[in-house]
Amino acid sequence: AGLMHDSSQPTSDALLGGLLAPDIRRKSCLSRYQSISYRKSSLHKPSPYLVSKLREYEKLHKRCGPYTKSYKKSIKELVSGQIDSSSNCRYVVWLANCGLGNRILSMTSAFLYALLTDRVLLINEESDMSNMFCEPFPDASWILPEDFPFMNQLYSFGRDYAQSFGNMLENRIINTSTELLPSCLYLYLSHDYDHHDKLFFCDQEQAILRNIPWLIMKANIYFLPSLFLMSSFEEELSKLFPDKEMVFHHLGRYLFHPSNQVWKLITSYYKKYLAKAEERIGIQIRIFDNKTSPVEHVMDQILTCTDKEKLLPRVDMGKSIVAPSGKGKSKAVLITSLVPYYYEKMMNMYSKHPTLNGEVVAVYQPSHEEEQQSENNVHNQKAWAEINLLSMMDVLVTSAWSTFGYVAQGLGGKKPWILYKIENKTIPDPVCGRAKSLEPCFHAPPVYDCKAKREVDTATIIPYLRHCEDIYWGIKLF
Ligand code: GDP
């Protein structure tokens, strides 16, 4: 670790093949330059077109971002409610909802939407999100200023909000021929959105949005794959992402750099426990229902998977370790879970009994928070540290359905072995399988053909959009 000294220029590798802008002060965000010493560098370079698009975006963000002249003008437009063509900046404001994995995936989707529509992305950072990420864009902030005029209203914005785009379409308050458009619209793009909210994914409805300067988006889903089905974005997306499987990998590595505070947690843990091992295996365990997936079943599933896929050695339960052996390959297992059960079982197994092949296995778990507490900043910092640690592992085993795991796999560039979901206490057969694409799964895709105006399986329209390995109704890019 620590390949570079503070005075040296970042190498092109450290800037991820041009993905990162070179002109951000190193000390303000150490992880930006140091990640490359921990995470494997990507075999997949971003396209030159994506790189130039990002540089262009950064200029736009600098011109229109908070506290600029253009921003102040646009705020006036927002407050007046009327579109004033003299201000030439347009925005997407993203509002949080749900856990960290969901937040990161929906922010990435909102960013790609902003790139495609020449808008500036602003994040409403509530206190639970503070000190998590570095500012991603040079000389500008992506945090929505606290004096944003409708700050108080943002909290009440939900599915039933009368001024949401979906409800306005449904109640025919707005349509493609509306002449006097408002200066602001609310988009509800969360897991429980309805048919009219999903018309966001239709080219025709996008034409309405094009002229509205302020879009306020409440999102908690990875809706980005569905943008690939829209003809208005088709050409641009094919230039930006010749390799469809790498969208989150590039955009995630571009946007999400741990703050110095979180980076310290990550690097000190890594150096203390993981650095010395010859191979590092991350096992991410996320159980959505303890009743249908009892811990014993999950433990069985994990061990069957790591054995079958030859990720970890078996132990001889009949023998005890007398003296520490140091002959075989050393492996470190990083377990992440809300509970300590799996760590304790596995740690006991490998510390008490010798392995059959002589490998030496050490097991670690950074935290066990017991319950999800997404409104708690320290809890979120731990979760973010663990996602990053997972992304630094050589091999990944993840839990089906979990966006926490998707973010780790995408940032790390590692296709995981997915532990398929246990239903009704039945361990699936096969217990796990290798992901075929690095992309996260979109759990709640629209199933509507905008032109034909009828239901369609959106995983059957273009070859690189198919159903996910872990959720059959979800879709992902391949
Ligand atoms: P998902 O629910 O698995 O899709 O992932 P999310 O990240 O959206 O929400 C789960 C939240 O629960 C995380 O953000 C954490 O706050 C917490 N959590 C779940 N698993 C872990 C874990 O292994 N470690 C830590 N520290 N937190 C976890």
Q: Whose CA is nearest to atom 18 of ligand 1?
A: 372
Q: What percent of the chain has pLDDT over 90?
A: 87
User: Strands (DSSP E) along 253-316, which ranges?
Assistant: 279-284
Residues 197 and 285 in one domain: no
Does residue 461 form part of some domain?
yes
CA distance readout (Å), 366 to 268, 371, 397: 11, 15, 17
pLDDT at 153: 84
214 forms beta bridges with: 91, 184
- Give the separation between CA 447 and CA 461, rounded to whole angstroms: 11
Domain that holds residue 79: 26-255
Is residue 28 within 8 Å of 141, Cβ to Cβ?
no
In a domain, 92, yes or no: yes
CATH value at residue 275: 3.40.50.11350
Local structure of 85: helix, strand or coil: coil
Ligand 1 mean position to 283 CA, how many Å?
13
* Helix spans in 276-419 (H): 295-308, 341-352, 377-391, 403-412
Domain boundary among 255, 272, 296: 255
Q: Is the sign of the CA dihedral 343, 349, 354, 359 positive or negative?
A: negative
- Ligand 1 atom 10, closest CA: 99
What ligand 1 atom has the least distance to the C-alpha of 383? 26
Residue 8 has pLDDT above 90, yes or no: no
247 shares a domain with 273? no
- Same domain, yes or no, for 268 and 380? yes
Residue 316: which of 344, 346, 350, 342 has the closest Cα?
350
pLDDT of residue 12: 67
Cβ–ligand 1 contact at 376 (below 6 Å): no
Torsion over CA: 109, 115, 118, 119 (sign): positive
Nearest CA to ligand 1 atom 25: 383
Residue at 138 is within a domain: yes
Ligand 1 atom nearest to 102, measured from its CA = 8
- The answer to whether 106 and 220 are in contact (CB under 8 A) is yes
Q: Is the pLDDT of residue 18 over 70?
A: yes
Q: Residues 175-203: what's their mean pLDDT?
A: 95
Q: What is the pLDDT of residue 265?
A: 98
Regarding the beta carbon of 286 and ligand 1, being less than 6 Å apart is answered yes
Atom 5 (ligand 1) nearest CA = 404
Is there a single domain that holds both residue 313 and residue 447? Answer: yes
- The whole-number pLDDT of residue 252 equals 98
Residue 34 Cβ contacting ligand 1 at under 6 Å: no
More confident of the two residues 43 and 273? 273
Q: How far is residue 203's CA from residue 222's CA, in Å, rounded to a whole number?
A: 19
Query: In the predicted model, is pLDDT for residue 316 greater than 70?
Result: yes
DSSP states of 130-168: TTSB---STTS--BPPTT-TTHHHHHH--TT-TTBHHHH
Q: Are residues 248 and 266 in the same domain?
A: no
- Please report whether residue 38 resides in a domain: yes
What's at 399, amino acid-wise?
A: S
Q: What's residue 3's pLDDT?
A: 40
| pLDDT tops 50 at residue 456 | yes
Q: Is there a single domain that holds both residue 122 and residue 102?
A: yes
Question: Checking DSSP bridges between strand 279-284 and strand 330-336, what pairing results, if any?
Answer: parallel
pLDDT tens, residue by residue, 252-263 = 999 999 999 999
| DSSP H or E run through 333 | strand 330-336
Q: What is the pLDDT of residues 53-108, one digit of tens each?
A: 999 999 999 999 999 999 999 999 999 999 987 778 999 999 988 999 999 999 99
Neighbours of 59 (CB within 10 A): 13
Q: What is the pLDDT of residues 283-294, one digit of tens each?
A: 999 999 999 999
Over range 119-126, report the average pLDDT.
95
Which one-letter DSSP state was computed for residue 282? Answer: E
Domain boundary among 240, 255, 270: 255
Which ligand 1 atom is at minimum distance from the Cα of 337? 23
- With the most atoms of ligand 1 within 8 angstroms of its CB, the residue from 388, 404, 442 to mutate is 404
Mind giving me the DSSP string for 158-177? Answer: -TT-TTBHHHHHHTTSS-TT
> Could you read off the pLDDT of 336-355 as tens digits, one per residue?
999 999 999 999 999 999 99
pLDDT at 9: 55
- Asked if 128 and 374 count as a contact pair (C-beta separation under 8 A), the reply is yes
Residue 17 counted as domain residue = no
Residue 11 lies in a domain: no
Q: What is the number of alpha carbons within 13 Å of residue 428 lying toward its C-beta?
A: 17
The pLDDT assigned to 1 comes to 36
Nearest Cα residue to atom 12 of ligand 1: 372
Q: Which of helix, strand or coil describes residue 288?
A: coil
Q: Does residue 16 form part of some domain? A: no
55 and 204: one domain? yes
- 396 with 279: CB under 8 angstroms? no
The atom number, within ligand 1, closest to the CA of 379 reads: 16
Mean pLDDT for 195-211 is: 97
pLDDT-derived band of residue 4, with 50, 70 and 90 as boundaries? very low
SS3 95: strand
Question: What is the predicted pLDDT for the residue at 325?
Answer: 65
Q: What is the mean pLDDT of residues 119-136?
A: 95
| 193 plus 267 within the same structural domain | no
Ligand 1 atom 3, closest CA: 402
| 430 or 11, which is more confident | 430
User: In percent, how much of the chain has pLDDT > 70?
Assistant: 97
Ligand 1 centroid to 99 CA: how many Å? 6
pLDDT value at position 26?
82
- Confidence grade of residue 213 (pLDDT, cut at 50, 70, 90): very high
Q: Which atom of ligand 1 is nearest to the CA of 98?
A: 8
> Rounded to an integer, what distance in angstroms lies between the CA atom of residue 182 and that of residue 80?
9
**Least confident stretch, 36-45, 56-65, 74-83, 309-318:** 36-45
- Residues 282 and 301: their CA atoms lie apart, in Å, by 15
Q: What pLDDT score does 154 carry?
A: 87
**Count of structural domains within the chain:** 2
- In short, whether 337's Cβ falls inside 6 Å of ligand 1 is yes
Most distant CA pair in the chain, distance: 82
Alpha helices for 218-288 (secondary structure H): 224-227, 231-240, 247-255, 260-269
Query: How would you classify the pairing of strands 432-434 and 417-419?
Result: antiparallel
Whether residue 306 sits in one domain with residue 244 = no
Q: Is the predicted pLDDT of residue 238 greater than 70, yes or no?
A: yes
Helix (H), strand (E) counts: the chain: 15, 14
Report yes or no on 2 lying in a domain. no
440 lines ligand 1 (CB under 6 A): no
Check whether 192 has a pLDDT greater than 60. Answer: yes
Q: What is the CA radius of gyration of the chain?
A: 23
Residue 407 has pLDDT above 70, yes or no: yes
* Mean pLDDT of all residues belonging to the chain: 94
Atom of ligand 1 nearest to the CA of 382: 26
404 lines ligand 1 (CB under 6 A): yes
- Given a cut of 50, whether residue 5 has pLDDT beyond it is no
Per-residue confidence (pLDDT) for residue 95, from 0 to 100: 95
With a 6 A CB cut-off, is 344 part of the ligand 1 pocket? no
Q: Are residues 112 and 132 in the same domain?
A: yes
Q: Give CA–CA dist 475/478, Å, rounded.
A: 10
The residue nearest atom 26 of ligand 1, judged by CA position, is 383
Whole-angstrom Cα distance, residue 470 to residue 134?
32
| 287 shares a domain with 251 | no
Q: Are residues 166 and 282 in the same domain?
A: no
Atom of ligand 1 nearest to the CA of 385: 26
pLDDT value at 224 more than 60: yes
End residue of a domain, out of 236, 255, 274: 255
ipTM value for the complex: 0.99
303 CB near ligand 1 (under 6 Å): no
The answer to whether residues 3 and 38 touch, using CB atoms and an 8 Å cutoff, is: no
Question: DSSP readout, 31-79?
Answer: HHHHGGGTSPPPSSPPPHHHHHHHHHHHHHHHHHSTTSHHHHHHHHHHH
Ligand 1 centre to CA of 171 (Å) is 37
